[in-house]
Amino acid sequence: MDLLDRIRATGLLPPGEPVVVLLSGGRDSTCLLDAAARLAGTASTTALHVDHGLRGPQASAREREHCADLADRLGVALEVHAAPPRDPEADGNVHAWAREVRHAAGHAAAAARGARLALGHTATDQVETVLYRLATSPGRRALLGMAAQREDGLVRPLLAARVTREETAAHCAGRDLPVLEDPSNDDPGFARARVRHGLVPALAAVDARASDNILRTAELLREEAAVLDELIATTLAGRDRIPRQELRVLPPALARLVVRHLAEQATGALCPRASHRLDELLALESGALDVGDGARLVVRRGEVHAERTPPLRRSTA
């Protein structure tokens, strides 16, 4: 089965259904845009290029022109979104900020068209994501990787089809589609680049099947995670809190998952550290416990619930 047939088999780019493809101009997003134009149809496909302004006005202009030429060649519409300047004092790294900007622009464009939002992540990206998260974040969630399809309409057809970065490069070359190279992908100053060029080759030297094994492990754990999520939902039975005594008698592994779920439900974000505070929480008769990631666990009247950590008050002195 060739690459296009594999992507078609995922069902994530149905013919005639609108789709917005995030387009950087790199090999992966170029391959995805070509696949979307041929599978969903040119009239149903929109390319969205987000200009982050990180490499200066000349580089931004070249990237916009490249994406415009590519969209014109493939016969699809192109929308360009200029990101607002990044606050130099903002928390987090540049890559995380850029990702948030892209996703926000992508979801807005997709919502305006009643479309899916398609990202060009590959199986190779999945392996690197799992390894990066395993090194930087505790808990089973680190091993789940990225979802090929999310409830908010975001899809990753190349990932679902297990397309690798090498295959997207070969596809673009075979279709004579020009691509841009992002120099930050090879910059060892970024942790992702160190994983890509250091850790992944080192694991391949241990076992040539390392990447395939990591990818399959993520797929299996994601299936098992759905079972655990159902168990958590059954335990809480629609509640946003749980009696401390009921939490105490649960199996410790399930109790940790419930605590993390409450924290993430309250904050709307991942809270991997919450589950590691179970013993402290159970020892707390009454009061609050800040567990990191913007979450606070509260014991009141014999019940445990979670809320956002209040912002720090600035001193007026």
pLDDT for 290-309, tens place per residue? 998 899 999 999 999 999 99
Number of domains the chain contains: 2
Written as six digits, the tokens of 216 are 């399959």
Same domain for 48 and 140?
Answer: yes
The pLDDT assigned to 42 comes to 98
Query: Is the pLDDT reported for residue 117 higher than 90?
Result: yes
Give the confidence band of 90 by pLDDT, cuts at 50, 70, 90.
Answer: low
Same domain for 170 and 267?
Answer: no
* 275: nearest Cα among 253, 245, 242: 253
CB neighbour burial string for 236-272, b if at least 16 within 10 angstroms, e if fewer: beeeebbebeebeebeeeebbbbbbbbbbebbeebbb
Tell me the percentage of the chain whose pLDDT exceeds 90.
Answer: 74
The pLDDT assigned to 188 comes to 84
3-state secondary structure at position 162: coil
Torsion of CA 231, 138, 143, 152, to 10 degrees: 70
The one-character DSSP state at 87 is P
Same domain for 198 and 251?
Answer: no
Give the confidence band of 92 by pLDDT, cuts at 50, 70, 90.
Answer: low
Cα–Cα separations (whole angstroms), residue 278 to 175, 246, 263, 304, 305: 55, 13, 12, 11, 13
Q: Can you name the residues that pair with 54 across neighbouring β-strands?
A: none
Sheet holding 45-51, edge to edge: 77-82, 45-51, 19-22, 116-118, 154-155
Q: Which of 84-88, 190-194, 213-217 is modeled with the greatest confidence?
A: 213-217
Query: Is the pLDDT reported for residue 58 higher than 70?
Result: yes
Higher-confidence position of 272 and 253 = 253
Dihedral angle sign, alpha carbons of residues 75, 81, 82, 86: negative
pLDDT for 249-264, tens place per residue? 999 999 999 999 999 9
The domain in which residue 26 lies consists of 3-206
Higher-confidence position of 192 and 261 = 261
Same domain for 275 and 200?
Answer: no
The one-character DSSP state at 239 is -
Same domain for 151 and 198?
Answer: yes
Tell me the percentage of the chain whose pLDDT exceeds 70.
Answer: 96
Give the confidence band of 91 by pLDDT, cuts at 50, 70, 90.
Answer: low
Q: Is 225 a domain residue?
A: no
Same domain for 291 and 146?
Answer: no
- Is residue 115 within 8 A of residue 99, CB to CB? The reply is no
Q: Averaged over 122-149, what is the pLDDT?
A: 88
Higher-confidence position of 220 and 136 = 220
**Minimum mean pLDDT range among 21-25, 171-175, 274-278:** 274-278
This prediction's pTM: 0.83
The pLDDT assigned to 19 comes to 98
Same domain for 131 and 173?
Answer: yes
Written as six digits, the tokens of 155 are 């899809």
Query: Is the pLDDT reported for residue 314 higher than 60?
Result: no
- Is residue 232 within 8 A of residue 258, CB to CB? The reply is yes
Query: Is the pLDDT reported for residue 185 higher than 80?
Result: no
Residue 39 φ/ψ, nearest 5 degrees:
-100, -55
Report the 10 Å Cβ neighbour count for 281. Answer: 21
Query: Is the pLDDT reported for residue 8 higher than 90?
Result: yes
Identify the domain boundary among 206, 222, 250.
206
Among all chains, which residue has been given the structure tokens 């000349």?
58
Q: Is 156 a domain residue?
A: yes
Q: Averaged over 196-212, what is the pLDDT?
A: 94
Higher-confidence position of 143 and 10 = 10
Assign residue 288 the CATH number of its domain: 3.30.465
Q: What angle do CA 262, 118, 20 make, to 5 degrees?
A: 120
Same domain for 133 and 278?
Answer: no
Same domain for 291 and 152?
Answer: no
Query: Is the pLDDT reported for residue 139 higher than 80?
Result: no
Give the confidence band of 89 by pLDDT, cuts at 50, 70, 90.
Answer: low
The pLDDT assigned to 86 comes to 75
Same domain for 254 and 182?
Answer: no
Same domain for 157 and 243?
Answer: no
Q: Averaged over 164-187, what is the pLDDT?
A: 90
